[in-house]
Structure formats: C-alpha cells, structure tokens
Structure 1
Amino acid sequence: MNKIGLLRSLKTDTWVKPFLSKYKNVLALALFLGFLTFFCGGALMFNSGYLISRSASIPENILLVYIPIVLTRAFGIGRPVFRYLERLTSHSWVLRMTSNLRLKLYNVVEKDAIFFKQAHRTGDILGLLAEDINHIQNLYLRTIFPTVIAWILYAFLIIGLGYFSWWFALVMLLLLGIIVFVLPLWSVIINGARQEKQKHMKNNLYTTLTDNVLGVSDWVFSQRGSEYVAAHKELETQLRAVDEQMLSFDRRRDFLLQIIFGVIAVALLLWTSIRFPGNHGGAANWIAAFVLCVFPLVDAFAPLPSAAQETNRYKDSIDRFNALPEENRQVSMEQPSVPEVTGLVSITVKDLHFQYPEGKEVLHGLDLTIPAHQKLAILGRSGSGKSTFASLLRGDLQPTQGSITLNDVPVTALSESISDLIGVINQSPYLFHTTVLNNIRLGNESASEEEVWRVLEQVGLKEMVAALPNGLATMVDEAGLRFSGGERHRLALARILLKDTPIILLDEPTVGLDPITEQGVLETFFKVLENKTIIWITHHLQGISMMDRVLFIEDGQLTMSGTPAELAAENKHFQYLLAIDQGRR
C-alpha cells in the first residue's frame, strides 16, 4: 500500500520527478554500472568455481584453463572498479538533484520570507532541509537504485537458468521472488504503521526541540526547566520503544532471508548434481560454478526488504515538498503603493487575535494604544504571547483578527518599509565577518565615518573601537566573538541610531548578560533612545523603573497595566514579581 502511495505521489510530483528526465543519462549509467558490479561478483565466483573444479580433477588441466584464469582476473578487477564507478555516478547524480532541490526550496521560501513563518514554524523548515531532503537522497540511493538493479539481475538470472532448465528456472523464479517481492511487501505491511508512528514522533521531537531550544531561557526563568527536561525525556523514551520494535522485526526478517538464500544454495547444489552428473571432471566442473555464484548475489537482494519499508517516509517527504508554493508562480512586477507614515508615530492595537495553524489562539482581544515617545515594558511568562505580539508588530505575522496600526496605517500594508519605522534589538545581535564599519553601517549604508563615530560615542564604544588595531577597519571575528555580550548589544544599538527609526523594539536584549553589564546596557539604551518610542519585551524587572508604563500579558490577554510606581504600590502580583527579581523570595 505504501509503494502504491509513493507511486501516486511521484505521478503528481513537481519537485523530485523532473530530475529523473533532467539527468536521465547519468541515472541510466548508474543503474548499468550497478548491474555490472553484481554481474562481475557472480561471474567471478562462477568462473572461480569452475576453475577450481577443473584444476582439481586432473592437475595437468591447469595448462588447459588459461581462459578461465584470465576471466577470474578480469572479473576480480571489474567488480571493485564497477562498484566504485557506480557509487561515484549514483552519488554524483543524487548530489546534483538535491543541490537543485535545496536551491528550489530556498527560492520558494525567499519569495514568501516575510509571512512564511505564519504557516511554518522554524522546526518545520529545518525538518524540510535536514530530514526531508535526506529522505529524498535515500529514496534513490537506498530504494530506487538497489531495487531497479535487483530487478534487472533477477530477470537476467531467471532467463539464464531457463537456458539450462525451464523447470528449475521456475523454482528460482519462486524462491528469488520471495526475496524480491514477498519480503519487501511483508516489511511494508508489518513495519509500515510503526514507521509512520516513528516518523511523526521524530518530526514532533525535532520541532518541539527546536522551539524549546530557541526559548530555553524562558523555561529557565519561569522555573520550569525540569518540566521541559522531563517532557523531552518522555518523548525520547517513546521513540526508543518504537525503534526497538522495528529493529526486532528487522532481525527476524533478515534471519528468514538468510535461510531462503541457504535453501537456494542447496537447491542449486541438488539441481547441478542432477544436471551435470559425474564423479570428477567433465560436466561436474559446473557444480561449484553454479553454487558459488549465489553468494555474491546476497548483496544485491538482501537490502530490498529494508528499502521497501522506507517508502512511506519518502512519500510524505515528497508530499510536503509539493504542498509548498510553486517556485515559478507568477509574481506581480507592479510594486504596491506603500502608505506614508508621517509625524509623531503612535501605535494602536485593536481587538488583536492571533492563532498559529493547528494551534491554540495565542492572543485574543488585545486592545492597546502606545503614544509617541512612550517607554513601555511588556512582561509575561513563556508562551504568554509577548513574542508573538512582537512579530505582529514588526509585520512578520498577520493577525487572525483585528489590527495593529501606525498612525492609522496597518503594519501589514507597510511591507519592507516597516524597517524605516521600527528598529529591533533582539537577544543575540549578530555581527558579520567584515569590518566594524560595515557592521555598523548595516543600519545606514550611506552613513559617513563621522556619523559612525558619533553613534559609537553615544553608545560608549568610541574609545574601545579607536583602540582596535585598525579602528573602524578592524575585521570582526565570525559572530563577533572578539566582543563581549554587552559590546555586541551596544554595537547593535549603534546600528539602530544610524537608522534613526522612531520606534525601537527591544526583544529581551539583555538575556545572558550578568546583572552589572545588563544594568549598564539598559541605562545606555534608555539614555540614547530618550526621544524614541521604546517597546521593551522582558522576563524580569531589572531597570523597570526607567519605563513610563508596564503591561503584563497572560494567556494572550492584558492582565496588568500601569506605571512602575503605581504597580509597586498597589498591585500584589507586581509586588510579588519584584520581590522575586530582587531575590527577596
């Protein structure tokens, strides 16, 4: 059933199937070389068996077997050579195909980059790149190539045996047919459901692990780290149990396969003893030849059951690729007009709802107004919806219902121009492997060196950069490792200052910094951004007194709002959080 499903998926496939015709010559060569590999292996043993028998029957015959000796040498050399060439050709074909597949996937993702994450989580994209493309590689290397080569060899053997004995050819047709068709089908039926379960568990583990690693700090700060570890261990335990069931079945099936090969060898011995009678010499020399040629063929037929049961995961991988948008779909060349936002920019959030696909509603009914120049802190535990709100504010996601507007202009209508209005500093500002100057000019490519030095002075890094070996021309190590965490955050702030956006979104920018560095970074931020609107998403309260207003989001709704002083005097929940943050609880 899974094979039928795979064939149906391939029939309507627009991702993988095109490469079959694009590289058909290389594919045909790989299959032919694969057949020659096993042909040489079988012919080597066949010829060796004949040579040994002929030479042993009458020692003087060694002078009469020159041709078999030469053939033994030829087949002995041919087998590894053809094996190497087959591997080289097949892997070259697969790598060409998967490189094109990755390029096509990148192009599809890039076209919808802004809103792609609304329908696909980070773990889903990583799953496509890491898991599904590997499955497509294995579809050819482990299933299609071995299966087609084995079928060609199967037909060749039956036709060859039919030349000597039609009834024994039918016997081999049945025995080899069990290995070629029955055992693979049995593997699909028995292990198919287990593999389906295993696949879903792996995808779930991959996605949840990615989400949890990206948000590990929230787990820690919410004091639920042990809960995360326990849940992860439970998923791994369930996955190991399914893996063990599949391995147990594989061992029993492989043992049966070896028994069938033993039966084939015995059958060949009995048939050749009847077909080529004699005590020694003459026709009896062919007995060892026929029997010994069976053993190299094990390598051709043995992988088929394992390859067949992989077809289910291949089918799903192909289906996931074909569910993506078409790479060559028409994209309007006309750029939509982008509304202009002028004057002091205020933010209005009205009846905001958001729900991820196949997930619960993260935000529901959020109403909020943020006037220009307000310093707003948004608190909330992990999963409360504050990071989703930040993504909606940047326009990375579209609301399920409601709106976010800047001076009555929806953020979703601003497209790429949103970066002219909202600057973002996140948890781990990235510094590229280029000069300090280029890293800071990322905020404004046309900025002069004088402007760069000015913003460096504002963020307190002018002296540090001036002391570098080449000043602004100093190369930054990969990921900015030569700079401390606080310095990287200040460099990110320098970028924002060059960009000069009216609104600054601080998405937990001080996670991982020690308290002293964190306090210094926050003081720098709020000092140089004094005339900006600041939206600070945070998990704790250090520096909270510098804010004009504090919000608390819980289960997608606002549950607390006020100035830091008001909340500290009147709100018990805020007092409790403040006590925890100050180490008094």
Structure 2
Amino acid sequence: MWKHDTWVKPYLKQYKGLLITALLLGVLTTFCGGALMFTSGYTIDKSATHPFNILLIYPAIVITRAFGIGRPVFKYLERLLSHNWVLKVTSNLRTRLYQTVEQDAAFFKEKYQSGNLLGLLAEDIDHLQNLYLRTIFPTVVGLLLALIITVGIGYFDLRFGILIGILLLIEVLVAPLVSTAVEAARRSKQKVLKDQLYTQLTDNILGVHDWILAGRQTDFQSATTNTVKALNQSKLKSKHFRWRRDFSLQVVLGLMFLVLLIFTNLYFTGTQEQANYVAAFVLAIAPVGETIIPISQGFEEYPTYQDSVKRLNNLEPTIEQLPTQQHLALQDFQTLQLNHLQFEYDADSPILLTDFNQTIQRGQKVALIGPSGTGKTTLLQLINGDLAPQQGQVTLNQIPVRALKTEQQQLFSFLNQQPFLFNTTIMNNVRLGNEHKTDAQVKAALDAVHLTPLIEQLPNGYETSVQEAGARFSGGEQQRITLARILLQDAPIVLLDEPTVGLDPITENKLLDTIFDVLHDKTIFWVTHHLQGINHVDQVIFLANGQIEMQGQPQKLMRENQHFQELYRMDQGDF
C-alpha cells in the first residue's frame, strides 16, 4: 500500500523541514520535563542534607526554573509547528480530494453510495490528520527518547541499559503492535458500521416523506437502531481493551521506576553527594511515561488510517484525453452536426447508438422521444462533449465538440429532471448562471419565467432562501428558477432532459410554454418521455434500438404517420 502511495508520502517530503523541527521540539519538551524532575529531585535530596549555604543549591534552583520555563515553551512551539504542519498537509489533501471528485463526478456518483461518499469526504482526511498527530509524531519522539535513555543508562551499566531499553521498547513498540493486532478487525468493523450508518441515515432523510406516507414512522425511527447498537457494542469492547492495556503500560512504567531505583542504589550511594542523585534519576522517567504511553492509542487506530489511505489512493480521476482546444465565438455558431455516432459504455453493455446522423441549424428545436434505455440522455452527454463516441463525431461549425471543452459552459445550458437549488437566496441561485450579471438582469430573468408576482409576495422577496434542495418551492417553481438561471447564462444551445417529469399536466403545459417562449432564439435538443407540448418543436426524432425509427415535423407526422398517431393517442390516454 505505502509503496504506491500518493496521498501521504509526498506531503511528508514537501514539508519535511517543518516536520523535523516539530519532532525535535517534541523531544526537547519531554527532555525538559525529565530534566525538570531530575533537577527537582536533586534539589530536594540536597536540601535534605541541610547545606550550610544556600549557594550550594542555588544553581540547581536556577536550572530547575529554566527547565520549568523551557518545558511549556517548547511544548507550545511544538504544538504550534506540528499543527501548522498538519493544517498545511490536510489543506492540500482536502483541496486535492474535492478537485478529484469534481473532475470525475459521474464516476463517483456511480461507484459510491451517497452515504459512502459522505464517509469518504467527512472522515478519511481527518483520519490522515490523526495519523500524523497520534501515530507518527508520538512514535518518532518516543523512539528517540528511548534511544537517549537507553544510551545514557548503558553508559554507566550495559545490563541496566539493556533492561531499561527492553521495558521502553515494550511501551513504544510491543504494546502498540499488540494493540494493532487486537483492534484491527474491530476497528475495521466499526468503519464498516459507520459507513452503513451514513448510508442508512442518507436513505432515511431523503425518503422521510415516503416513510410518513406509508404510515411507518416507528420503522423510520428504528431503521438505524441495530447498526447504532452494534457500533456502540464494538466501541465498548475497544474501551475495555484500552483500559486493560493502559493499566499494563502503567505497570511496565512502575517496573522502570523499580529498575532505576535499584540502579541508582548500586551506583549512586557510595557518598553523600552521590546519594543526592537517587531521586533525580528515578523521578526523571515520569514525564517520559506521559509521552510514550499514548503511542499505543495511535497504533490502535492504524487500521482505520490504512483503510482511509487505500480509499484515497483509489480515487485517482480518469484522465480525460482531449484534442487540442479551439475557439468558437458564440455569435458564430450556426450548425450542430452528429455524424455517424456509435456508442456503448463498455464491451459488456449493449450498443446504445448505431450510425446516428443529424444536422441541426441554429435556432431549431428538436424533440427526441423513445422507450427508456434507448440512449436519449446519453445522446445529450455526447452532444455537450461529456462522453466520447466509439465511432463518429459531434461538431459545432465543423469543430469537434471535444475540442471546445474549455468553452462548454458558454456554449451549452442544461435543464434536467431534478435541477439542484442551493440552500441560499433566490438571487444567488439564479446568478449561478452568470455571476457577472447585475441584480436588475437577474430580476429580469426571473420576470421572464413569470416568477416576479410570486417572489414579490414573499416576506424577504428576492432574498428569500430556497432552503435545502429548493424545498421552499414546488417542482414547477424550482424548474422556473433553474430556467431563469439558463436565461442568465445565455448559451446558444440548450439541452432539456425531461424537465417536466413529475409535474401535473396543467403545470407541465404552462412550463413548456414558458420554456419555448423565453428560449425562442436558442437551439434546443429536448429529450421527452411523451408528446405533451410536441407542437413547440420543428423536428421529432423517435429513437428505438439505437437507431432513428421515424423523424419529421410533428404536424406532418400527425397527418401521415400511423405509428406516430398511435403514440399520440396512447399519450393522451385514448386507447
């Protein structure tokens, strides 16, 4: 996993100077803590001998003060630099994550459930942040301290140095590795349960109206109960394990005190002056314990970090191979051509389009109808360049549409079945179409789609919040707000993907009249599932089995094409 990692190692290298400084400050913090206890112990022992002059212990008092001041100062600097380092890294990680998701949004929507995607965005970067703060920093500092202490005591006696080194390794390496082994499966299970909980909560929130309409409020409330219960039980087991582990680590720390007590009594009790160092050596180990005991907690969470690193490293976006980009002035657009298009999503999927040909002149309105699954929406994605056909080409003025990707937002507007409205004001939602337009132009667009009377009746008028996902307004009103956004965008080509689905016939008729009225000068390619409002278009294309089954002006098809007449009667409910 780490060999091919591109989410952790690059940032360790990028900010290595800041990282090394933070680690050294961590070592100095614990060193000052140990030195503070050492000099304090010496001062206490020395004072107990009743020195005849205060000057005999004054240097020790001064040094104690120095280390007492040094410890919080170094601790503050270490926290400042380490958190600065982590914030720099995680800022880059979050930026990269959102850019990755943005570049391949369709891929993520198909591969991840909403709950899993929320877990990915909400937790994985935080896990990497904890990887640095709870695992990498304490472990490196702990190993450095273990090395210093082992070498220091080994200088006096190799046997005691080795014994202290073994006890320190138990604290710094053995206990953390045991914690990882014991907690790995449990932590992985907790991660899975959390992802399930995200997914269940997402389903419940998005489907709350269906629960209520079905009269199953109790089921709605208990839908996540089993998952929460299993998660809490697993967390409780982890808590009990941590208590037993931390108690064992305190026992090992007590053994270190005992070993140091024996060591100092063997080597520092020959004279009264040497005896002053007994308490100093023993007490100096206390701050070290505060530093190394939390290492096990960081290692225990490693499986979670590992899972996050794997998920993030699997997020590399699909690299889109685009031709050399060209320029097309909006006023120069005249012809949209679909030349011999053939498309399939992969080798195992059926061919959706076969030798599809069409030429659409500027200002023409085309309706595309046909059974579900025949590739109508796919054709819209081919037209605006989001998908590339296996054969054939889509061109604007003979320029491949994929060579105009940098100008896609200026050339194409899109209105689909469920346009998204953000939880902000009406003005902000419409201005999304073109942020450079004035308030007057935004209001003019809203007036064009016949929303002015409604908006002016609202308490906050144009500054009214549409609420989450546009919940403040009905489906038809949401579509009109989005239509105003399209007007403000003022792109020459408008792609409509069944924008009236779910609306009642009266609202649908009024919305279609508005759409084709305000977009009268635009080139429109309209995917629809039935023939309501078909009189608004110049051409109707019926797509079946990847090919054009019939095509023509709607009025002519109504007069001359029996199949079209049957479809119209079925659409009107006249069997």
Question: Above 0.5 in TM-score?
Answer: yes
CA distance in 2, matches of 1:523, 1:72: 86
Paired residues of 2:22 and 2:78 also in contact (CA < 8 A): yes
- Residues 520-559 of structure 1: matches in 2 within 5 Å? 524-529=510-515
Once the two structures are TM-superposed, the CA of residue 155 in structure 1 deviates from its matched residue by 0.4
Q: Secondary structure at the match of 2:422?
A: coil
- Residues 364-443 of structure 1: matches in 2 within 5 Å? 420=412, 422-424=414-416, 426=418, 429-430=421-422, 436=427, 440=430, 442-443=432-433
CA distance in 1, matches of 2:320, 2:93: 20
Task: Please state if 1:84 is matched with 2:72.
Answer: no
Once the two structures are TM-superposed, the CA of residue 178 in structure 1 deviates from its matched residue by 1.5
**Mind listing any 5+ residue stretches in structure 2 that lack a counterpart?**
354-364, 395-400, 518-523, 535-565
Paired residues of 1:38 and 1:296 also in contact (CA < 8 A): yes
1:169–1:193 CA distance, 2 compared to 1 (3 A): same
- Alignment match of 1:154 (pick from 133, 140, 146): 146
CA distance in 2, matches of 1:78, 1:508: 70
- Alignment match of 1:321 (pick from 295, 312, 315): 312
Corresponding residue for residue 382 of structure 1 = none
Paired residues of 2:414 and 2:496 also in contact (CA < 8 A): yes
Once the two structures are TM-superposed, the CA of residue 22 in structure 1 deviates from its matched residue by 1.5
Task: Please state if 1:287 is matched with 2:282.
Answer: no
Once the two structures are TM-superposed, the CA of residue 118 in structure 1 deviates from its matched residue by 3.0
Counterpart residue identity of residue 305, structure 2: Y
CA distance in 2, matches of 1:529, 1:71: 82
Counterpart residue identity of residue 255, structure 1: F
CA distance in 2, matches of 1:529, 1:300: 67
Paired residues of 2:325 and 2:404 also in contact (CA < 8 A): no
Once the two structures are TM-superposed, the CA of residue 193 in structure 1 deviates from its matched residue by 1.4
Corresponding residue for residue 28 of structure 2 = 36
Paired residues of 1:268 and 1:291 also in contact (CA < 8 A): yes
Corresponding residue for residue 170 of structure 2 = 178
CA distance in 1, matches of 2:62, 2:69: 11
Q: Secondary structure at the match of 1:105?
A: helix
Corresponding residue for residue 577 of structure 1 = none
1:412–1:125 CA distance, 2 compared to 1 (3 A): farther
Paired residues of 1:31 and 1:149 also in contact (CA < 8 A): yes
Counterpart residue identity of residue 303, structure 1: P
1:139–1:257 CA distance, 2 compared to 1 (3 A): same
CA distance in 2, matches of 1:74, 1:503: 73
CA distance in 2, matches of 1:47, 1:462: 79
Give identity over the alignment, percent.
39
Deviations 1:63-106 (A, max 9, x none): 31111101110110111111110011111111111111222223
Counterpart residue identity of residue 190, structure 2: Q
Paired residues of 1:547 and 1:563 also in contact (CA < 8 A): no
Task: Please state if 1:201 is matched with 2:189.
Answer: no
Corresponding residue for residue 10 of structure 2 = 18
- Alignment match of 1:485 (pick from 469, 473, 488): 473
Q: Which moved more, 1:169-178 or 1:41-50?
A: 169-178
Once the two structures are TM-superposed, the CA of residue 528 in structure 1 deviates from its matched residue by 2.2
CA distance in 1, matches of 2:167, 2:483: 73
CA distance in 2, matches of 1:523, 1:84: 67
Once the two structures are TM-superposed, the CA of residue 36 in structure 1 deviates from its matched residue by 0.4
Counterpart residue identity of residue 286, structure 1: Y
CA distance in 1, matches of 2:314, 2:7: 10
1:96–1:458 CA distance, 2 compared to 1 (3 A): closer
1:36–1:389 CA distance, 2 compared to 1 (3 A): farther
Paired residues of 1:427 and 1:508 also in contact (CA < 8 A): no
1:253–1:220 CA distance, 2 compared to 1 (3 A): same
Q: Which moved more, 1:260-269 or 1:528-537?
A: 528-537
Once the two structures are TM-superposed, the CA of residue 49 in structure 1 deviates from its matched residue by 0.6
CA distance in 1, matches of 2:381, 2:322: 23
Once the two structures are TM-superposed, the CA of residue 300 in structure 1 deviates from its matched residue by 1.1
Paired residues of 2:200 and 2:223 also in contact (CA < 8 A): no
Counterpart residue identity of residue 266, structure 1: L
Counterpart residue identity of residue 192, structure 1: A
- Alignment match of 1:139 (pick from 131, 146, 149): 131
- Residues 462-473 of structure 1: matches in 2 within 5 Å? 462-463=452-453
1:562–1:58 CA distance, 2 compared to 1 (3 A): farther
Q: Secondary structure at the match of 1:175?
A: helix
**Mind listing any 5+ residue stretches in structure 1 that lack a counterpart?**
1-8, 356-360, 380-384, 406-410, 512-517, 538-543, 549-560, 571-585
TM-score scaled to structure 1, two decimals?
0.70
CA distance in 2, matches of 1:282, 1:231: 72
Q: Secondary structure at the match of 1:288?
A: helix
Deviations 1:111-153 (A, max 9, x none): 3345442334444443333211111111111001100000000
Once the two structures are TM-superposed, the CA of residue 21 in structure 1 deviates from its matched residue by 1.9
Q: Secondary structure at the match of 1:324?
A: coil
Q: Secondary structure at the match of 2:416?
A: strand
Once the two structures are TM-superposed, the CA of residue 335 in structure 1 deviates from its matched residue by 4.4
Corresponding residue for residue 128 of structure 1 = 120
Once the two structures are TM-superposed, the CA of residue 161 in structure 1 deviates from its matched residue by 0.8
- Alignment match of 2:64 (pick from 63, 72, 86): 72
Counterpart residue identity of residue 153, structure 2: L
1:224–1:173 CA distance, 2 compared to 1 (3 A): same
Corresponding residue for residue 5 of structure 1 = none
